[in-house]
Structure formats: C-alpha cells, structure tokens
A and B are shown apart, each in its own frame.
Chain A
Amino acid sequence: MQVNEYKPLIVAFCCNWCSYAGADLAGNNRADYPAEVKIIRVPCSCRVNPTFVLKAFQRGADGVIICGCHPGDCHYTSGNYYTRRRMAMLFSMLDYLGIERERTRLEWVSAAEGAKFAATMRDFVQKVAALGENKRLEDLRCKK
C-alpha cells in the first residue's frame, strides 16, 4: 500500500444557480467525490476570468474545472455562451503552450444533476491524478 499517495489539487469554479446547486444536491444525496476538489462560488460561469484559472495553476493547482448551467439554461440568459467561447480559446491556448489539456475542463451541470457533478469530479480528479503534479504552469515561489 502506498503511504504517500499523490493527491492532486483541484479548483472548481461553480455558478451559483446550477452547478453550485448541483454540488449541493450531490451533498444532499451523499454522493461521494474526492475531497481534492475545492469549490469557489461565482454568480455565473461567465464571471470566471481566464486570469483566475492561470492564478490557480500558478499557485499550485493541478487542475481547474469550470462548471455552469447547460447552454440555454443560464440564469443570466447568455453568460455560459460567453464562457464557452472564452474557455475554448483559453484551453486551446494552454494546449498550444504544451500544458496538458486534461488539466482544464468546462462542464455543464444543472441544479438537478447532483450525480453528474459527483461523477464529473471523480473522473476529472482521476484524469488529473494520472498526469501527476502540475509542473509546467506552477510558480515555484508559491511552493511551500
């Protein structure tokens, strides 16, 4: 048995209306997902500035996931459509710079999808764990 099993650090940005509620529902249903996932609540996925994602990586996050309402269901009508374009460009850019693409993800999770939230997080953590530590975007000064 491995004693010091590698645990990735995952930052999840969740929109208040759908995905954060979906995470709450996962809690209500006692759906198990890894504790490596730490959620930051934002009003809408469109509040997530690409610099937040970069900042997380800089500070040592191994993966960043952004969750919002399904397209067409945004509480603010269109916020997630902008998120989709911005993140498509950001993720593609990170991929272009040689950053492992599995470290970033955008998922649509509704308030009713507690099970999907938990499953998504399990899958994401597993994929990021398989990559190991984020070395390519980490700021070594932030390392303890």
Chain B
Amino acid sequence: MQKITEKHLAEKAKDLLSQGKVSAVLGWRRGEFDYDVTPALFTDADEIENGLVYNCFCGANLSKYLVSKIRAVEGRMLVFLKPCDTYSINQLFTEHRVDREKVYIVGIPCNGMADITKIRNAVGEGITGVSGDECLRVETLYSDEPAELCLADVMSERCVNCKSKKHVAYDELLGDEGEVLDSHRFDEVERIERMSPDERFAFWQRELSRCIRCNACRDACPACTCEVCVFNNPASGVESKAPVNEFEEKMFHIIRAFHVAGRCTDCGECSRVCPQNIPLHLLNRKLIKDMNECYGEYQAGEAVGGVSPLTDYTAEDGEPGDLIRRRDTDA
C-alpha cells in the first residue's frame, strides 16, 4: 500500500487546478507551530507548494469550512476529506446546504489525529515542534533531546474510537478504500448510564460548569450551519451569549445536542475544539445510541438522502418511559 503524504495532496491539487477542473482548493495550512494547523483556501500552485500540509494535526473537518467558503468560489472547489469528514459532507448534501456539483472531493486516508493536550500531558509545556507520523518527535524549550511518543498513545479520543476508515463520498481517492470499523465509541456513554442519577448529575455538573460559552463547539460543528443560529436569534426565546450560571450551560448544550440530533455524524469536532476539554461528543453519542437502540441503526451521512429517526416514526415505537425503564433492567 502506497503511503499518502502531503506531497501527494499537493500534487493532486496543483494538477486539478492547472487542468482547470477546480478553481480553488480547501486544505490545511501550518500555523505558528506545527500543531496549530488551520483550514485554508488555496487558489494557486505556489501557495499550495509552500502552505498545504497534511499531518496528524489536520483534525479540522473541512466540510464545515466548505459551507461558507464555497459561496465565494466560482466553479468547482477541491476539498480534501478524511473518512469521517465524508459523512459530514453527505449530511450537508442531504440537507441541501452544499451543491454537490460545486464540490470535487478527494478522499484521503487517515491514521488517526493527535490530541495536543495528550502530548502536553506527556511531555509538558513549551512544545516548539512536532514531527513524524506513527512515531512523533516532540521538541520542547526545556529539553535538548526531543521526546519520542507513539501516535497511538496520544491519539484523540474520536480516533481511538474511530467508527470508519471508509470514504462514503468522493470524486477521487488517494490511497486505498477503507472499511467501516467495529468501534467502542458507546462504551463511555454506557459507563455514564450505569452511574446513579446523582453521580451522573455530579459528572455533568463538573464537565459543563467549565463551559465559557465561547461557541467554538457550535462554530466547528458541520451540522450547525443554520443561516441564523437560535442562540443568536432573540425571537427563539433561548437566545443567550454568556454563561450566566450553571443552568445556562446545560440549557445551551442540551438544546445544541437536540438541534443536531439525527443529523450529527459523530465527527467529534465539538470535543476537539473545546478549549475547556468538555467531552461534548458524549451528549451527541448518547442521542445516537438511543436512536440506534430504539429506532434501528442509523448513521447520519452514510448516504445522501438518509432519513433522520426524528423525522420518521412507526406506529410501534416505544414510549419514553419504556426506554428509560429498559435501561434500568439492563443495568
């Protein structure tokens, strides 16, 4: 199997640009440090040559950035998508948020993304450089010798519990086709479910009380592409901008989880971008797990035109009480 690196991505991008097949390329660019990689739009070969990166810090799901960026682009736009990102873009196609014809998807393989917090926890502060892929060499201000870390040990949670290496939408693939994986992504949800109500309350109180309402989770979420967000809309009755008290945070996160319920592909961007490291994906996963258990397995974004369980029903659906009670007997 050929190993796909940023070189291949850059070649592909330059190739398509020069052929005129696409007029812009959405990829990632290195920031001040190796680990602060940000989404970026490229329109010429030089920019791509010098700026485009693809490494274990390219976690950002470009589907979300596509929604706003594509409006300014004439013609087709190339976007590099990792397997989990392709679920998001399918969901966007389903919801008519992006015109399929305007996008040229190049699927790229992913071996898992690193979590900078985990690296910091391992080597301490003052990181000046990170290089390598399977094996990472981390240089810090305070040490002459770079620390060596295994990517597997510092991988972000969503990659540890990766649900799929398969691209569900693409025009072209770099590398080989992957497969849907048997993940353990619901284990943590189950652990919380097994807690007593008081423990659960304490757990979420501890997590959600750290929220500073920076809205990063919303802004990075590919399901949150509303023209006007309810939290910015005074007519919605739930408008609020600041974390006034504990309730406010809960309200915000419950409503947000509900708004994306049935549409969330579990890409994990919310938790990745949270500066307070709140495990927000555990709220979305809870809903996904409940819907799977009650209404049959459903993976949002698996195909264009998928029907969310919340916009569907059967006459035989269980009652809310049955669901909660069943969990008790299971526990």
Contact = CB atoms under 8 A, between A and B. Distances in A.
Interface residues of B, number: 47
Contacts of A141: 244-245
B247 A98 contact: no
A86 B200 contact: no
Interface in B14-65: none
Contact of A58 (B200, B247, B287, B320): B247
Interface in B156-212: 192-193, 197-205
A139 B294 contact: no
B23 to A, nearest CB: 41
Nearest to A90: B258
Tell me if B's interface is mostly helix, strand, loop or mixed. helix
A93 B323 contact: no
Interface stretch (B101-109, B142-150, B249-257): B249-257
B258 A95 contact: no
Interface in A93-122: 93-101, 104-106
B290 A98 contact: no
Given A82-B313, A88-B319, A88-B320, A98 B204 contact: yes
Contacts of A98: 197-205
Contacts of B203: 98
B247 A84 contact: no
Interface of A: 50-51, 54-55, 58, 71-72, 78, 81-82, 84-101, 104-106, 136-141
Interface of B: 192-193, 197-205, 236-238, 244-245, 247-248, 250-251, 254-255, 257-258, 261, 283, 286-287, 290-291, 294-295, 309-315, 317-321, 323-324, 327
Given A55-B237, A58-B247, A105-B321, 12 more contacts: A54-B254, A82-B313, A85-B294, A88-B320, A89-B261, A90-B320, A95-B200, A98-B201, A98-B205, A101-B197, A106-B320, A139-B245
28 contacts: A50-B255, A51-B237, A51-B238, A54-B251, A58-B247, A81-B313, A81-B315, A85-B295, A85-B312, A88-B294, A88-B318, A89-B261, A89-B290, A92-B286, A93-B254, A93-B257, A96-B193, A96-B200, A96-B283, A97-B200, A97-B204, A98-B202, A98-B205, A99-B201, A106-B319, A139-B245, A139-B248, A141-B244
Which 7 A-B residue pairings sit nearest by Cβ, starting from the closest?
A98-B201, A81-B313, A98-B200, A88-B320, A139-B247, A91-B320, A98-B197
